[in-house]
A and B are shown apart, each in its own frame.
Chain A
Amino acid sequence: MKICITSQGSTLDALAEERFGRAPFFIIADTETGSFEALENQFAGGSGGVGPKAAQLIIAHDVKALVSGMVGGNAHEVLKAAGIQLYVYRTSGTVRDAMDQFNKKTLEKVA
Chain B
Amino acid sequence: MKIAVASGKGGTGKTMVAANLAFTLSQTCQVTLVDCDVEEPNLHLFFPAPATAKDVTVQVPVIDQKICDRCGKCGEFCQYGALTVLRDRVLFFPELCHSCGGCTLVCPKNAIHEEPKRVGIVTHTKPLPRLDLVSGNLDTGNPFAVPVIRAAKMATAGDCLVILDASPGTSCPVVETLDECDACILVTESTPFGLHDLQLAVDVTARLGIPAGIVINRNDGQDQATFNFCTNRDLDIIMTIPFDRGIAAIQSRGDLLCRVRPEWMKAFTTLYRKCCGLAGVD
Binding site for B on A (CB under 8 A): 43, 46, 48-53, 55-56, 59, 74, 77-78, 81-82
Residues of A within 8 A of B192 (CB): none
Given contacts A48-B96, A52-B93, A81-B91, A74 and B81 within 8 Å (CB-CB) = yes
Which residues of A have CB within 8 Å of B84?
A: 52, 55-56, 59, 78
Number of interface residues of B (CB under 8 A): 14
Interface contact A48-B81, CB-CB below 8 Å: yes
Determine chain A's interface SS by DSSP, over half rule. Answer: helix
Interface contacts (Cβ under 8 Å), in number, total 42
Bound together, the chains give a CA A59 to CA B90 distance in angstroms of 13
Q: Does B266 belong to the interface (CB within 8 Å)?
A: no
B79 at the interface (CB under 8 A from A): yes
The prevalent SS among residues of B at the interface is loop
12 sample A-B contacts, Cβ–Cβ < 8 Å, listed by A number = A43-B81, A46-B79, A48-B80, A49-B82, A49-B93, A50-B81, A52-B93, A53-B81, A74-B81, A74-B93, A78-B86, A81-B91
Contact check, B80 vs A82: say whether CB atoms are below 8 A apart. Answer: no
Chain B residues contacting A56 (CB-CB under 8 Å) are: 75, 81, 84-85
Mask: chain B, 128-140; 1 = CB below 8 Å from A; 0 = not: 0000000000000
Considering only residues 71-127 of chain B, those with a C-beta below 8 Å from chain A are 75, 78-82, 84-87, 89, 91, 93, 96
Name the distance in Å between B160's Cβ and chain A's nearest Cβ: 38
